[in-house]
Chains A and B, each alone.
Chain A
């Protein structure tokens, strides 16, 4: 609210702010605890920071980080693809799809991921051969299960299928969060169901889907430590545990693992920030053009087709004058 220039500039209010002694007291207490903790980190020799330094870049540890990342990314990609499919199926008009999707989520969410990982590890005992053919009829080809379902594949399948059930619910919630009017507007324009889903509904749902999916990804990073159930023995936790057992120094190697998990989590959080910004465009993120009336009027004045086709010109603001 600008005042007319002939008025003197207003004297700004400078009220005495309310005091907050509680803030100071809590700060002192928390800083006190923090100081004691930091002191113990430095003075308590049982932490063995020298061992942490020795092993933080150990080949086995760095390879473990790599495998943990492969498992995390692989299982999340699998889970996201399945979750989109499951969420679309759940919304389908086809009752068979709706029912199948529900049963999938019910089963994979209802059994422990540890159990599922053990199961995938044992799949070649249960089904020694994978073959394709006509049921009760001739067989077309056949391979040993263990050559296809390696420990890595078993780990990714176990983690990914379990995660798909949780993500399916997140995606379903996201799709439901989009206003019904969006579907109607797209339908009224004659868009087909698939295009409406991919171009109109899903991009808007992503605003709601990304934060909990980031949460799940970070959760998955840590859940990969369960793959010893398969058994898969190259991930970060297994690598540091092996080193701890060999050196009889569990604490510093737990710290090594914790530091790496924290580093990866931090990187994932940065990535999530950019993904959120991308899908927030138009709503949370209004980057391109703030409304500037002067510039707008100037560009309107030179708008090309207005002069070229005066008959088409229908500016209601002008007509109103």
Chain B
């Protein structure tokens, strides 16, 4: 840990991803500092979700390196050669990285409370009492203390997504990944989820947010990255990029979404 303002938590270097012959990511470099909110935008098919999913190894890394908190994700490097990590070691890395999905992916056979308690009890071995107390605090923090006993199917999309955020926070991650967290929501429910994310950002959480919410990027983002065709086209301060995009593709994209 160096005592400078530049304190990278996540470093993505030369990331490539192939699906068969399909070259989805074509050399991505991205650094996210501790406590920073890094927002990634771009047209669908630009590879932004794939990049995010590589960070916690939901996708394998075809080429390049990703490190979180100084440790290489998915590999061990011995004498310049990469060795795959074991499933258990990968699981240990994922515990430090929370993920929120576009389609929530709550466990439908468990109540909101049980969803939030599941990983602390089963993965961290917390006692049920401790995990329950913490889960209720987190549900309260996302404004859903009164919905603890509800099953996901009894909650609105916005409520489900807030439970999903609480579920990820229950593992006390050092990094949160958001994969289009509001894209599957009705317009009037988007605000609740964004507010929870804003408060999380204020509390100092390091976040990578793939989204179409330009307003969120402008208001909360510390850095905005525009991706297209599997490459980073432009990256910088969100206010500057949005007000004064340097590349034609960024201009064209923004003109369509703003």
Q: Give chain A's interface residues, CB within 8 Å of chain B.
A: 179, 181-182, 184-193, 195, 199-200, 203-204, 279, 281-283, 286, 288-291, 296-297, 299-300, 303, 305-306, 309, 312-320
Q: Which of B87, B95, B151 has the most CB of A within 10 A?
A: B151
Whether the pair B123, A191 counts as a contact (CB closer than 8 A) is yes
Q: Are A282 and B195 in contact (CB under 8 A)?
A: no
Query: Which residues of B sit under 8 angstroms from A190, Cβ to Cβ?
Result: 91-95, 119, 123, 171
Q: Closest Cβ of chain A: how far from B98's Cβ, in Å? A: 8
6 A-B contacts, Cβ less than 8 Å apart? Answer: A185-B164, A187-B58, A189-B167, A190-B91, A286-B153, A291-B150
CB closest residue in chain A, given B150:
A289
Query: Do most interface residues of chain A lie in helix, strand or loop, or is the interface mixed?
Result: helix
Task: Report the bound CA distance from A300 to B146 in whole Å.
Answer: 5
Q: A291-B150, A316-B192 are in contact. Are A191 and B108 (CB under 8 A)?
A: no
Q: Considering the complex, which residues of chain B in the window 81-115 have a beta carbon less than 8 Å from any beta carbon of chain A?
A: 87-88, 91-95, 97-99, 101, 103, 105-111
Q: Which residues of B contact A317 (CB under 8 A)?
A: 143, 192
Are A305 and B136 also in contact (CB < 8 A) when A190-B119, A299-B145 are?
yes
Complex alpha-carbon distance, A21 and B146, angstroms? 53
> Of A181, A296, A313, which one neighbours B140 at CB under 8 angstroms?
A313
Q: Does B105 contact A306, Cβ atoms closer than 8 Å?
A: no
| C-alpha gap A181/B58 in the complex (Å) | 11
B196–A316 CB distance below 8 A = yes
| B101 close to A315 (CB less than 8 A) | no
Output the nearest chain B residue to A306 by Cβ-Cβ distance: B140
B122 at the interface (CB under 8 A from A): yes
- Also in contact, A182 and B107, with CB within 8 A (given A289-B150, A296-B147, A306-B145): yes
- A/B pair count, beta carbons within 8 Å: 135
Q: Which of B103, B146, B167 has the most A CB atoms < 10 Å from its CB? A: B146
Q: For residue A189, which residues in chain B have a CB less than 8 angstroms away from its CB? A: 94-95, 118-119, 123, 167-168, 171
Q: Which of A199, A303, A318 contacts B118 (CB 8 A)?
A: A199
Nearest-CB residue, chain B, relative to A190: B95
Find chain A residues with CB under 8 A from B101 CB: 181, 184-185, 188
Q: Contact at B171–A303, with CB atoms within 8 Å?
A: no
Check B143–A184 contact: CB distance below 8 A.
no
Quick one: closest B residue to A311, CB to CB? B203
B83 to chain A, nearest CB (A): 17
Q: Which residues of chain A have C-beta atoms less than 8 A from B88's C-beta?
A: 192
Q: Does B142 contact A (CB under 8 A)?
A: yes
- B26 smallest CB distance to A (angstroms): 24
A204-B108, A314-B142 as given contacts; A187 in contact with B91, CB under 8 Å:
yes
Known: A305-B136, A316-B196, A320-B195. A281 touches B58 (CB 8 A): no
Instruction: Tell me the complex Cα distance, A190–B168, Å.
Output: 10
Q: 16 new A-B pairs (CB below 8 Å) besides A192-B91, A305-B137?
A: A182-B105, A184-B105, A188-B58, A188-B101, A189-B168, A191-B91, A192-B87, A288-B149, A291-B154, A296-B147, A303-B146, A305-B140, A315-B143, A316-B142, A316-B194, A318-B143
Complex Cα distance, B123 from A187, in Å, reads: 11
Asked if residues A184 and B58 are in contact (CB atoms below 8 Å), the reply is yes
> Does B70 touch A at the CB level, under 8 Å?
no
List the 8 shortest-distance A-B pairs measured between CB atoms, nearest first: A190-B95, A316-B195, A185-B105, A315-B143, A188-B99, A181-B105, A282-B151, A189-B119
Across the interface, do B110 and A282 meet the contact criterion of CB distance under 8 Å? yes
Bound Cα distance from A314 to B150, whole angstroms:
20
Q: Which residues of B contact A286 (CB under 8 A)?
A: 151, 153-154
A289 to chain B, nearest CB (A): 5
User: Once the chains are docked, how many angstroms separate the CA of A296 from the CA of B112?
Assistant: 14
Q: Which residues of B contact A288 (CB under 8 A)?
A: 111, 149-151
A-chain residues with CB within 8 Å of residue B58 when the two chains form the complex: 184, 187-188
Q: By the criterion CB–CB under 8 Å, are A314 and B91 in contact? A: no
Closest to B192 in A: A316
Decide: B191 and A316 in contact? CB cutoff 8 A.
Answer: yes
Judged by a CB distance under 8 angstroms, whether B56 is at the interface is yes
Q: What is the minimal beta-carbon distance from A149 to any residue of chain B, in angstroms?
A: 39
